[in-house]
Amino acid sequence: MKLYIAGPMTGYVDLNFPTFLAQAARLRSLGFEIVNPAEIVTDPNAEWLECMRADIKQLVDCDGIALLDGWAKSRGASIEQYLARALGLRVYQAHTIIGLTGDMPVLSTDVIVPAEAEAA
């Protein structure tokens, strides 16, 4: 499964790259293919729009998005989360992901029915 990491950068020390890199390493160790914005545009002086354009191009090719703490207060991460949901991608809180599986719960307001309950 290919996941895109989204979270706050603007206003954070080192653009919050250490958090992005640590979470990317953790998720890769669990078997996920990771798209990490901190590895897409690495210039700390790059313009916000330049970064968003590069990042969104990568997001649309992912299976889901892993949200870092504080994502909802980030303009960019909020846009990425909205786009992921609108495209029907799986949406996760990054810190809750503990392994690679096809039946991971998805953040949603909809009721999730386990496959075995649907078969009954």
**What pTM value is reported for the model?**
0.81
What domains does the chain contain, in order, with CATH numbers? 2-119 (3.40.50.10400)
**Segment 52-70 mean pLDDT:** 97
Task: Specify the pLDDT at position 119.
Answer: 53
As a dihedral over the C-alpha atoms of residue 31, residue 33, residue 35, residue 40, rounded to 10 degrees, the angle is 100
Task: Specify the pLDDT at position 27.
Answer: 96
The model's confidence at residue 93, banded by pLDDT at 50, 70 and 90, is very high
Terminal Cα distance for the chain, rounded: 28
Task: Specify the pLDDT at position 67.
Answer: 98
